[in-house]
């Protein structure tokens, strides 16, 4: 079993706290490594060193910083298979899905190759007599990224690429469940030319996070994870005067209108509901068919598709549809929520509880689970299950379906399947959710747009990546400049003292 490290000042460094967290293989239940959990002192020391390194990095011109991103992007491409394997080994997702995880992070690196353009300021010529105004975007200093387990490559890349290309140093605190991808990305960044100390990967748990939140040098915190922790981090960071954007959990609904192509909707729901074992913040976890015929037709189409799904370890080949959930606790929680759905009166159409795979009996596999007749007061509707469980809430009409989505506490993503442009347009306009798909199940925006939810899915201002990220990771300075009228009418030839 391997003891993992931190990555500090360009080197893998052993932890000194004596505290570790087990890194599991979710497919087998084995402990495959231990990750050190940093103390407050270790974190403070890493931040202090990052502050030194940041001065030189901020003084490096933006184009040179962008060239580091260019090389980094090339190295990610060259090492795609290794990165995907690291993701799959600790997270459990399939290799094609793991490559997608890396790819959607790489796309943010690609946008950051154009950072100099995004960092240009504004200029007003002659805003008053002899007065010009200009603004510049300056790096914040040392910023922190705190990331969840479910996208071991993508979300750390969403944090580090914009933060670094803006001239900041970053402390990355990855999820203790999946630390190896971040450690390897840090090595690739060094190879790409990032100076030592500009990216510090410090592993840890609450102690390390609290050290970040209370450290005066840290200027901004970008968090992604569950809603209670997002809200906590947002509050503590804000109290300590830091800029914070904290993205939380989700409960994403898909409306299926009577005019929708039900086969396409069922295909989309199977992928968006069960892909990555439902452990995506943009997973569709609630299907909302409008009208009885739509609902019956949808369930009828979902059942054979669900029965065909292959659940297994990533090592079993590329035709596996999804892998295990992340921990035994996650499996027990998901199965407990399925129990509650049955107890509270939902119809269990397919039951994923108690799945045991030959040779992987200790893995944390949960079979695809479909509920019908779910109502808004049930726990399976109210809670973010974060597992392969799809709930169907039947609605009589479009307005009720729309209101269901609007009344839900979360507002990360949503989708509508319809053949009617006017309905789609009305939905996109009126729904209070940050990312909307029209005949598109998982509407994660491309990297030159921005990603962010509404309501309890995000705390703070500005979205992740895209133009918002360059705003979040810089502060604006605006200069009002006046030059008094001088000598323009001809030279002065007398030798004069200054007066």
Backbone torsions φ then ψ of 306, nearest 5 degrees: -70, -40
Element (H, E) at 239: helix 227-239
Binder of ligand NAD out of 173, 251, 301, 455 (CB under 6 A): 173
351 binds ligand NAD (CB under 6 A): no
3-class SS at 24? Answer: strand
In the DSSP assignment, the letter for residue 464 is B
Other CB atoms within a 10 A radius of the CB of residue 78 amount to: 11
391 binds ligand NAD (CB under 6 A): no
Structure tokens that stand for 295 in this block:
């609902």
The residue with tokens 């996650």 is: 330
Decide if 246 is catalytic: no
Dump the DSSP string for 130-178: TEEEEEEEEE-SEEEEE--SS-TTHHHHHHHHHHHHTT-EEEEE--TTS
Structure tokens that stand for 30 in this block:
């084995």
457 binds ligand NAD (CB under 6 A): yes
Minimum CB distance to ligand NAD smaller for 269 or for 385: 385
175 binds ligand NAD (CB under 6 A): yes
Residues 396-435: x where in contact with ligand NAD by CB under 6 A, - otherwise, as a string:
----------------x-----------------------
146 binds ligand NAD (CB under 6 A): yes
281 binds ligand NAD (CB under 6 A): yes
166 binds ligand NAD (CB under 6 A): no
In the DSSP assignment, the letter for residue 290 is B
Size of the site for ligand NAD (CB under 6 A): 26
Binder of ligand NAD out of 224, 270, 415, 416 (CB under 6 A): 224
Structure tokens that stand for 489 in this block:
């009418």
Site for ligand NAD in 187-216 (CB under 6 A): 205-206, 209
- Residue of 112, 166, 246, 281 with catalytic role: 281
In the DSSP assignment, the letter for residue 28 is T
- Cβ neighbours of residue 403 closer than 8 Å, sequence gap 6 or more: none
Minimum CB distance to ligand NAD smaller for 68 or for 237: 237
- Region near ligand NAD per CB under 6 A, out of 74-82, 170-178, 186-194, 371-379: 170-178
Binder of ligand NAD out of 150, 369, 392, 474 (CB under 6 A): 150
Backbone torsions φ then ψ of 178, nearest 5 degrees: -140, 55
Residues annotated as part of the active site = 281
Query: Residue numbers of the site for ligand NAD (CB under 6 A)?
Result: 146-151, 173, 175-176, 205-206, 209, 224-226, 229, 247-250, 281, 384, 386, 412, 453, 457
């Amino acid at each position: 079993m391997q003891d993992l490290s931190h990555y500090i000042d360009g080197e893998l460094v052993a932890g000194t706290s004596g505290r570790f967290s087990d890194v599991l293989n979710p497919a087998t239940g084995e402990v495959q490594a231990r990750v050190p959990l940093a103390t407050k002192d270790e974190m403070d020391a890493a931040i202090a060193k990052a502050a030194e390194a940041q001065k030189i990095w901020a003084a490096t011109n933006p184009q040179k910083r962008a060239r580091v991103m260019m090389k980094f992007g090339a190295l990610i491409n060259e090492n795609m298979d290794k990165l995907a394997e690291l993701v799959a080994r600790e997270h459990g997702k399939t290799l094609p899905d793991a490559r997608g995880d890396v790819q959607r992070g790489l796309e943010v690196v690609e946008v950051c190759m154009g950072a100099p353009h995004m960092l240009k300021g504004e200029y007003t010529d002659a805003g008053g007599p002899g007065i010009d105004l200009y603004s510049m975007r300056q790096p914040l200093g040392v910023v922190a990224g705190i990331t969840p387990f479910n996208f071991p490559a993508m979300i750390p890349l969403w944090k580090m690429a914009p933060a670094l290309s803006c001239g900041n140093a970053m402390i990355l605190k990855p999820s203790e469940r999946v630390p190896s991808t971040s450690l390897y990305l840090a090595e690739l960044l060094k190879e790409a030319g990032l100076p030592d100390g500009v990216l510090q990967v410090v592993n840890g748990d609450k102690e390390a996070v609290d050290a970040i939140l209370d450290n005066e040098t840290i200027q901004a915190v970008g968090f992604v994870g569950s809603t209670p922790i997002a809200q906590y981090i947002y509050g503590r960071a804000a109290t300590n005067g830091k800029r914070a954007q904290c993205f939380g959990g989700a409960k994403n609904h898909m409306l299926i209108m009577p005019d929708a192509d039900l086969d396409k909707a069922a295909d989309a729901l199977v992928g968006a509901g069960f892909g990555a074992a439902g452990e995506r913040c943009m997973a569709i976890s609630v299907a909302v068919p409008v009208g009885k015929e739509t609902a019956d037709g949808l369930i009828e189409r979902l059942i054979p598709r669900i029965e065909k799904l292959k659940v297994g370890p990533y090592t079993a080949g590329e035709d596996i549809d999804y892998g295990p959930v992340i921990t035994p606790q996650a499996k027990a929680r998901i199965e407990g929520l399925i129990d509650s759905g049955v107890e509270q009166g939902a119809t269990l159409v397919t039951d994923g509880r108690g799945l045991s795979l030959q040779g992987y009996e200790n893995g944390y596999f949960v079979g695809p689970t479909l509920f019908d007749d779910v109502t808004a007061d049930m726990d399976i509707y109210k809670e973010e299950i974060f597992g392969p469980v799809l709930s169907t809430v039947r609605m009589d009409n479009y307005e009720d379906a729309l209101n269901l989505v609007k009344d839900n506490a979360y507002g990360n993503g949503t989708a509508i399947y319809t053949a009617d442009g006017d309905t789609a347009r009305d939905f996109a306009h009126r729904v209070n959710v940050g990312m909307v798909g029209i005949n598109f199940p998982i509407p994660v925006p491309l990297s030159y747009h921005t990603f962010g939810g509404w309501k309890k899915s995000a705390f703070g201002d500005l979205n992740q990546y895209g133009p918002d990220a360059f705003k979040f990771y810089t502060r604006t300075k605006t200069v009002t400049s006046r030059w008094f009228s001088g000598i323009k009418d001809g030279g002065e030839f007398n030798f004069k003292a200054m007066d």
